[in-house]
């Protein structure tokens, strides 16, 4: 079946026009645009498709958004043509139904348009663009469009084998990978559900398109149609008398071979005689038995999905409603004297207590039985409500075990006399009320100065990253989104708390010291990490001249990088190959410099203006974590040279440059300072080494 013909409104123009008609094109192009568009709207959609392929003029004119009404009116003139499907525009729809060109490569092709995949593919493109469709039970759960109507040239002999588009499959895989890379489970679930909703709509619209395609291909007269209707009516009545139901007669999502076989018996313009009925009944019932199995299987999967979604929704709501950190969230939502990112309600709502994986919860409470067994959604809700107390008890026990393990691992590095928790006070906006109901272990873990790192020697199955620091409760192995994916492929699945995944997380002593020092400066010694994190980019380093605001994790990382180069008060990295030593005698970010005039950190206000930087340290430029050492005055630059590098008379071009951007200066020196080796030679030459 090629172009879908409308027997009541045949196109007037063929795809290839005779030469005489081509000569008339200049005359047509002289017609005023408004007049041309008006009479074009009464043309057959196939004629419009042919017209836009003749010249650039018609293509530009008819594919402009303002011509949308032309296409809509043209399509409306086609008898019984279904409305334009969702996520398609009218020219796409017209090309799919009334052209004879491959959707992918554009070559002329007479194959039938696929109503479910919404493409028309030539034989080479069918081999390239189609892949086998398989039933899946993961997050997407068969949400990628599939069809039995378009198949590769060398396809399976199985009548029921369906195929899907390779491009859509790969696009979905990329989208899933993006969500997993961003750790955006909320976005992933919402997107997956939207994919399901889109496919259900697309499949129903495909049914309507297929009816039209099949019926338009059979250009029977009204008399023949009446004969077919009468025959179908008698066959259905006879089959219903034998126990078959109306839904058993729905073959629209089956293969074209099966549909043709069914229609060759039912949809033919011949009277139904007793002998014909007797002869065809065994074949009809054989087709119906196979179709009933298929229909029941689809209904089973659809019901299974709906019940599974309901259990997930109930678990998500349960996790939200029983979240013990809700008082913390409520306080963070309240208006503050300080306006800005601190009052970001959407971010505060994301603060969630640890939650076990759904397969553990299911093992504890047999949740999978709620959606695997047939039943209504109301029954699922009722059964779930009966398990709430058990779920709450099991999750509380699971959390307590995880919290106890993390506390033991953290305090194991404390002095022997201080292995017990010395301080479990934690405040949110200066108050202990939001956390006073929580156990001691939880309050200790929520403190900003409880900082974990990942010991690479204890890593299990790749959990955690040795280069990161972690704060409870956002530790791998503790946060699971309430969705039911496939049963893990390994045979021994660990149910409950897998202590091996938490084993690598131990105390980060240096970052703990940094956090304590910064909190003392801010007069927030017992603050919760979540409060500082949600304050956003308001923290400014008092030891740097840049004045750039950072978020809490960035300011801690900044101090960590500036301090890790110093060991025992000595600058450790050996980065220079000079004969004359390069001096680093003073750590400007030393946590013990309590007498320093500059604060370690302060909170910016919205009216502060970033300083204009006029000089940069050329020595620090060669140290990775120090290279952005810049100053807003020459006085501060000279003070830095004296305190850090013991340079009483710094030389421009050797010790410092009077530009804010050092990279521009290095390019402007004509290659003298284009690399560290050139600078080292100049350093030794200056000192006579």
Instruction: State residue 591's pLDDT score.
Output: 80
Distance CA 638, CA 632 (A): 11
Q: Which helix (H) or strand (E) holds 539?
A: strand 539-541
Q: Report how far residue 6's alpha carbon sits from residue 79's, in angstroms, rounded to the nearest whole number.
A: 7
**Domain boundary at 217, 248, 268, which?**
217
Q: Which of 181, 201, 217 is the last residue of a domain?
A: 217
* Domain membership of residue 47 as a residue range: 19-217
Are residues 400 and 443 both part of a single domain?
A: yes
> Do 40 and 49 contact (CB within 8 A), yes or no?
no
Residues 362 and 331 occupy one common structural domain: yes
**For the ranges 293-302, 438-447, 461-470, 593-602, the one whose mean pLDDT is highest:** 438-447
pLDDT in the model for residue 14:
35
Please list, in sequence order, all residues whose beta carbon lies within 8 angstroms of the beta carbon of residue 221, skipping any fewer than 6 positions away: none
Same-domain pairing of 387 and 455: yes
What's the number of CA atoms in the CB half-sphere (13 Å) around residue 75?
22
**473 preceded by a cis bond (ω within 30 of 0):** yes
Domain membership flag for residue 129: yes
The phi, psi pair for 641, rounded to 5°, reads: -60, -40
Sequential DSSP letters for 453-503: EE-GGG--TT-S-TT-EE-TT--TTTB--S---PPPSSSS---S--HHHHT
Phi, psi of 114 (to 5 degrees): -85, 120
Cβ atoms of 534 and 348 within 8 Å: the answer is yes
Residue 518 lies in a domain: no
The predicted-structure confidence for 228-268, as pLDDT tens digits, reads as follows 889 999 999 999 999 999 888 888 778 888 888 999 999 88
Number of Cβ within a 10 Å radius of residue 196: 16
Higher pLDDT, 505 or 596: 505
pLDDT one-digit tens code per residue, 2-54: 556 555 554 443 334 334 455 555 666 677 878 888 888 889 999 999 989 88
Number of domains in the chain: 4
Whether residues 212 and 226 fall in one domain: no
Mean pLDDT for the chain?
82
Among candidate residues 185, 217, 249, the one where a domain is terminated: 217
Nearest to 293 by CA among 133, 160, 120: 160
**Per-residue pLDDT at 492:** 46
Check if the beta carbon of residue 631 is closer than 8 Å to that of residue 637: yes
264 alpha carbon, distance to own chain's centre: 47
- 353 and 371 together in one domain: yes
Judge if 500 and 615 occupy the same domain: no
Poorest-pLDDT segment among 90-99, 157-166, 426-435 = 157-166
Is the domain of 74 the same as that of 133?
yes
Q: Say if CB 534 and CB 342 are below 8 A apart.
A: yes
Residues 6+ apart with CB under 8 A from 133: 144, 146, 161, 162, 163, 164
Greatest mean pLDDT range, 307-311, 360-364, 435-439: 435-439
Residues 257 and 405 reside in one and the same domain: no
Residue 407 domain-assigned (yes or no)? yes
- Residue 424 banded pLDDT, cuts 50, 70, 90: confident
């Amino acid at each position: 079946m090629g172009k879908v013909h409308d027997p009541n409104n045949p196109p007037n123009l063929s795809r290839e026009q005779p030469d005489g008609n081509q000569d008339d094109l200049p005359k047509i192009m002289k017609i005023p645009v408004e007049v041309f568009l008006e009479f074009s709207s009464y043309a057959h959609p196939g004629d419009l498709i042919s017209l836009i392929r003749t010249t650039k003029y018609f293509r530009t004119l008819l594919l402009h958004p303002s011509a949308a009404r032309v296409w809509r009116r043209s399509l409306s003139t086609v008898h019984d043509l279904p409305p334009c499907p969702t996520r398609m525009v009218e020219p796409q729809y017209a090309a799919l139904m009334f052209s004879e060109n491959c959707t992918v490569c554009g070559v002329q092709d007479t194959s039938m348009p696929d109503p479910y995949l919404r493409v028309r593919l030539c034989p080479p493109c069918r081999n390239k663009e189609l892949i086998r469709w398989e039933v899946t039970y993961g997050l997407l759960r068969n949400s990628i469009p599939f069809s039995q109507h378009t198949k590769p040239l060398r396809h399976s002999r199985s009548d029921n084998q369906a195929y899907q588009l390779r491009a859509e499959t790969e696009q979905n895989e990329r989208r899933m990978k993006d969500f997993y890379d961003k750790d955006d489970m909320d976005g992933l679930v919402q997107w997956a559900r939207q994919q399901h909703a889109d496919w259900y709509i697309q499949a129903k619209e495909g049914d309507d398109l297929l009816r039209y395609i099949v019926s338009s291909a059979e250009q029977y007269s009204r008399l023949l149609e009446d004969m077919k209707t009468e025959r179908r009516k008698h066959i259905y009545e006879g089959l219903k008398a034998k126990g078959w139901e109306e839904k058993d007669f729905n073959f629209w999502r089956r293969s074209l071979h099966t549909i043709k076989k069914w229609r060759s018996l039912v949809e033919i313009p011949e009277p139904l005689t007793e002998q014909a009925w007797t002869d065809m009944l065994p074949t009809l019932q054989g087709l119906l038995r196979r179709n009933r199995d298929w229909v029941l299987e689809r209904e089973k999967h659809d019901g299974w999905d709906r019940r599974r979604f309901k259990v997930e929704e109930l678990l998500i709501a349960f996790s939200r409603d029983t979240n013990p950190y809700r008082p913390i969230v409520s306080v963070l939502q309240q208006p503050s004297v300080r306006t800005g990112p601190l009052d970001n309600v959407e971010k505060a709502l994301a603060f969630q207590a640890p939650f076990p994986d759904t397969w553990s919860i299911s093992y504890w409470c047999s949740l999978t039985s709620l959606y695997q067994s047939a039943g209504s959604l109301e029954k699922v809700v009722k059964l779930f409500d009966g398990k709430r107390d058990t779920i709450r008890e099991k999750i509380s026990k699971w959390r307590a075990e995880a919290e106890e393990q993390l506390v033991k691992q953290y305090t194991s590095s404390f002095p022997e006399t201080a292995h017990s928790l010395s301080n479990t006070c934690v405040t949110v906006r200066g108050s202990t009320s939001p956390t006073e109901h929580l156990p001691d272990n939880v309050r200790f873990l929520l403190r900003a100065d409880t900082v974990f790192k990942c010991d690479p020697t204890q890593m299990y199955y790749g959990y955690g990253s040795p280069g990161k620091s972690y704060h409870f409760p956002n530790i791998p192995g503790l946060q699971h989104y309430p969705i039911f994916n496939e049963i893990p492929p390994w045979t021994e699945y660990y149910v409950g708390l897998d202590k091996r995944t938490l084993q690598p997380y131990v105390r980060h002593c240096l970052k703990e010291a940094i956090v304590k020092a910064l909190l003392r400066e801010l007069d927030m010694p017992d603050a919760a990490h979540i409060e500082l994190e949600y304050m956003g980019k308001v923290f400014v380093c008092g030891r740097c001249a840049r004045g750039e605001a950072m978020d809490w994790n960035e300011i801690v990382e900044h101090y960590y990088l500036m301090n890790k180069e110093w060991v025992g008060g000595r600058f450790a990295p050996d980065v220079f190959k000079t004969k004359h030593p390069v001096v680093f005698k003073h750590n400007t970010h030393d946590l013990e410099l309590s007498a320093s005039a500059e604060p370690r950190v302060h909170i910016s206000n919205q009216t502060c203006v970033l300083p204009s930087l006029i000089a940069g340290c050329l020595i620090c430029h060669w140290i990775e974590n120090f290279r952005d050492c810049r100053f807003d005055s020459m006085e501060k630059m000279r003070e830095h040279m004296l305190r850090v590098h013991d340079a009483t008379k710094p030389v421009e071009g050797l010790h410092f440059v009077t530009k804010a951007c050092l990279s521009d200066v290095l390019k402007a020196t004509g290659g003298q300072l284009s690399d560290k080796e050139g600078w080292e030679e100049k350093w030794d030459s200056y000192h006579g080494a």
